[in-house]
């Protein structure tokens, strides 16, 4: 999978917050990381639990499905 070099740090930070190895100060911060993963499409590119968790967050209304224009 190719990742644009400008996104590497953002993706690393988001993954860290989603997986918990970078602590979040608030639940909102964790949700923002998940929303970033959904918006960039990376939530569906990593281990199965990433996609399952992202789907659950969307289903529960905590995150939004990426809008494609």
Query: Is the pLDDT assigned to residue 2 strictly greater than 70?
Result: no
State how far the Cα of 28 lies from the Cα of 69, in Å rounded to an integer: 26
Which of 26, 27, 40, 38 is CA-nearest to residue 63? 38
Residue percentage of the chain with pLDDT more than 90: 72
- Say whether 41 sits in a helix, a strand or coil: coil
pTM for this prediction: 0.84
Over the chain, what is the mean pLDDT? 88
pLDDT digits (tens, 9 = 90+) for 29-61: 999 999 999 999 999 998 899 999 999 999 999
Query: Is the pLDDT assigned to residue 69 strictly greater than 70?
Result: no
Query: Is the pLDDT assigned to residue 20 strictly greater than 70?
Result: yes
């Amino acid at each position: 999978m190719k990742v644009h070099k400008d996104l590497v740090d953002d993706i690393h930070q988001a993954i860290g917050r989603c997986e918990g190895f970078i602590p979040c100060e608030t639940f909102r911060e964790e949700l923002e990381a998940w929303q970033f993963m959904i918006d960039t499409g990376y939530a569906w590119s990593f281990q199965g639990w990433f996609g399952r968790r992202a789907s659950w967050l969307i289903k529960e209304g905590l995150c939004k499905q990426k809008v494609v224009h």
